[in-house]
Structure 1
């Protein structure tokens, strides 16, 4: 019997089962047939955030940001470059705190940008403030190794 991993499609939100022995790089969604991984962060709302965090078997790195935040805007291209390096081992999400104030409050976001690293539905690491790509990737990998 083959073991599978659940991965949420960034395009349509459908939960896909991918055999563990299959490389995820070329995987496509069974519903919308789009690539499962594009090397780009996914903009999420509250519902999509919950789906990715609760239903995905891969770790999730969330950038909580706002469009008016200068450091958030400065970090955005670095977060995009980090997605190219971390996918498919980590799913990168962008959550606009202005569009999800209740979720931001539940997550105890007190300043932005804030990075949340989550695995198995729970937070395993948090960092407040902007980071460059190299630091972002190193921080993510170090915290995944520790947990």
Structure 2
């Protein structure tokens, strides 16, 4: 297992860690009775981790151009969608503008993920499609 993680590279492992960190935080807010202060602390932790990822990913893309432009866009849109989803769910749950931004980002994530699958033949885009659909469904039922 660790051998396959070594082959992925630092940036890909950081991306997967950032994506996997989102779902437990979302579940925590959904199913555990929380205090608003805890929600802000958890959101701030995710904001720092994802902010670091966005900065590192942008620097690596500009300097090395090691990934395609659509995969870089996919990473950015996915992390921004996760950030906005946590923000509108944990910090400001009754803000209608945040809801609109979340829906727009989910639709954008659907489009970018579809383009990643069609253009680059990269099946990682399926994660983006399923994530955006799941976020939209959870938003509807909240």
The TM-score, its normalising length taken from structure 1, stands at: 0.29
The structure in which a higher percent of residues are helix is: 2
Q: Which has the higher contact order (CA 8 A, sep 6+)?
A: 1
Structure richer in strand, relative to its length? 1
TM-score (norm 2): 0.30
